[in-house]
Amino acid sequence: MADAPRRVDPLHGVTLQAMIEHLVERYGWAGLGARIDIRCFTHEPSVGSSLRFLRKTPWARAKVESLYVHSVTHPRKTPPPAPPAG
């Protein structure tokens, strides 16, 4: 009997800090604040302040996790290479 395919959990092994860093790299602080309107992303944002807030606030952490999962399951399409000069 063959093993059934396992669902891969995109959050498995990913720290909250890694999620925030990934989202900031992808969207920037302004873009992240526009997608998840919380002060730790919109007013003097930093990874440290975001971690402190998100560890104490389950509803906000759930939003960050959801956006992270969306971002890794829907990677941005890379632009086509530039034509050679000359």
Q: Domain range for residue 56?
A: 16-73
Instruction: Output the domain CATH number for residue 65.
Output: 1.10.720.30
Alpha carbons within 13 angstroms on the beta-carbon side of residue 59 total 3
Its pTM stands at 0.78
Q: What is the tally of structural domains in the chain?
A: 1
Per-residue pLDDT of the chain (86 residues), as tens digits, is 556 666 778 888 999 999 999 999 999 999 999 999 999 999 999 999 999 999 999 999 999 999 999 999 887 776 555 566 65
Decide if 78 is inside a domain.
no
Decide if 86 is inside a domain.
no
Decide if 3 is inside a domain.
no
CA 3, CA 6: separation in Å to the nearest integer? 8
